[in-house]
């Protein structure tokens, strides 16, 4: 293994910023995973400082892939559904490069998780249309057609029977509304089948911390597409972010 096969992956989620050094040959961590709470509603400077502090735990001058919960266009943050709105319009790739003193590639968080599952995980070798959904603070989406990412799909904001998908079935909604598994699975079923009816994917991959308890809801979901849990679990965002450094 040469050092050129290593990159740092950073995943900024709604609740925590996580990072690790990743071996890109295998999609596995070669360092401890470090994390810190995300100051999601604080100033952009506060989040950048938290980012720099947590990434400073990792040695070396490896390139950094940064997964962020927003639409990303040309290194700039374009939306902020679950963040301080001051993020909109910020040139985060440039700002993070300055704060981390390393080259930074910026990517949407769900797109990063999708890349990881496609290259190393549950969607590896799958052609056709693959839809990945992350069920965390919001609902993120990644769409692949014959292995090619269609970036910045924002299907979590799809209106499903008068309510945004991510307000029905994200991991956060289950906790905040204290929903039973049955009630939450019914919402997720509605969301997944509404998306299926619009895209007809061959495979749907579900990711996010809540999928660690997949045995509590998977048998309640019924969809014509094959429906599976991501293989990389909560590591997908970090691994995919690191992989994104090779795709520019």
Smallest gap from residue 147 Cβ to ligand BGC (A): 20
- 138 lies in the binding site for ligand BGC (CB under 6 A): yes
Q: Which of 11, 109, 117, 187 is in the footprint of ligand BGC by CB under 6 A?
A: 109
- 134 lies in the binding site for ligand BGC (CB under 6 A): yes
Smallest gap from residue 23 Cβ to ligand BGC (A): 25
Residues numbered 178 to 207 that lie near ligand BGC (CB under 6 A) are none
Q: At what angle do helices 92-100 and 44-55 cross, to 10 degrees?
A: 40
Cα 25 from Cα 248, distance rounded (Å): 17
Cα 145 from Cα 202, distance rounded (Å): 10
- 140 lies in the binding site for ligand BGC (CB under 6 A): yes
Return the residue matching tokens 């970090």. Answer: 238
- 47 lies in the binding site for ligand BGC (CB under 6 A): no
Please state the φ and ψ torsions of residue 246, each to the nearest 5 degrees: -95, -5
Smallest gap from residue 162 Cβ to ligand BGC (A): 18
State both tokens at 119. 């290259």
x/- track of binding to ligand BGC for residues 57-76 (CB under 6 A): ------------xxx-----
Nearer to ligand BGC, 71 or 149 (CB): 71
Nearer to ligand BGC, 143 or 225 (CB): 143
Sequence-separated (6 or more) residues with CB below 8 Å from residue 89: 76, 77, 78
Cα 216 from Cα 142, distance rounded (Å): 24
Cα 133 from Cα 142, distance rounded (Å): 7
- 234 lies in the binding site for ligand BGC (CB under 6 A): no
- 240 lies in the binding site for ligand BGC (CB under 6 A): no
Cα 25 from Cα 83, distance rounded (Å): 33
Q: Which of 27, 121, 136, 230 is in the footprint of ligand BGC by CB under 6 A?
A: 136
Nearest of 31, 11, 12 to residue 20 by alpha carbon? 31
Smallest gap from residue 240 Cβ to ligand BGC (A): 12
- 110 lies in the binding site for ligand BGC (CB under 6 A): yes
Q: Which of 38, 79, 211, 234 is in the footprint of ligand BGC by CB under 6 A?
A: 79
Q: For 221-239, give the DSSP string.
A: ---SSEEEE-SSGGGHHHH
Per CB under 6 A, residues contacting ligand BGC are 69-71, 79, 81-82, 108-110, 134, 136-138, 140, 154, 156, 166
């Amino acid at each position: 293994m040469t050092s050129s096969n290593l990159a740092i992956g950073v995943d900024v989620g709604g609740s925590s910023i996580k990072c690790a050094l990743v071996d890109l040959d295998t999609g596995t961590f070669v360092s401890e995973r470090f994390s810190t709470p995300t100051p999601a509603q604080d100033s952009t400077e506060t989040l950048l400082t938290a980012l720099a502090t947590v990434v400073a735990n990792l040695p070396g001058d490896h390139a950094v892939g940064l997964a962020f919960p927003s639409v990303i266009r040309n290194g700039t943050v374009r939306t902020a559904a679950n963040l301080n709105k001051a993020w909109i319009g910020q040139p985060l790739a440039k700002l993070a490069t300055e704060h981390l003193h390393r080259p930074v590639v910026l990517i949407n968080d769900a797109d990063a998780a999708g890349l990881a599952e496609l290259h190393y995980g549950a969607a590896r070798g799958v052609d056709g249309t693959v839809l990945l959904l992350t069920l965390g603070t919001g609902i993120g989406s990644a769409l692949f057609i014959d292995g090619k990412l269609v970036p910045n799909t924002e299907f979590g904001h799809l209106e499903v029977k008068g309510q945004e998908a991510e307000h029905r079935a994200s991991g956060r909604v289950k906790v905040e509304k204290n929903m039973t598994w049955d009630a939450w699975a019914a919402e997720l079923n509605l969301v997944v089948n509404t998306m299926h009816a619009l895209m007809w994917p061959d495979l749907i991959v579900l990711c996010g911390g809540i999928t660690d308890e997949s045995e509590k809801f998977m048998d309640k979901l019924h969809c014509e597409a094959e429906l599976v849990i991501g293989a990389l679990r909560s590591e997908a965002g970090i691994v995919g972010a690191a992989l994104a450094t090779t795709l520019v």
